[in-house]
Amino acid sequence: MKLDTVLAFLAVLIALVQNMYPKMLPAIGIYLVNVFQASWLSQCWLDIIIIQQFKIYTLTKEGN
């Protein structure tokens, strides 16, 4: 799998979770940080995921 595909999938997953279970998101965020362990690395990953999510949101908005 390409990294872009994985990140896009994660972004969509996070977007779905945000819509369905907003209260669960912080717990998932903490879990992600624990998984990636090093704080600077997790911050980079989360930034990338947020950017990807924004791109998907923008593309979806332009598509409508």
Domain boundaries, the chain: 3-63
pLDDT in tens, 20-49: 666 666 666 666 666 655 555 556 667 777
Long-range Cβ contacts of 22-26 (<8 Å, 24+ apart): none
pLDDT for residue 9? 82
pLDDT for residue 49? 76
Query: What is d(CA 63, CA 60) in angstroms, rounded to the nearest whole number?
Result: 5
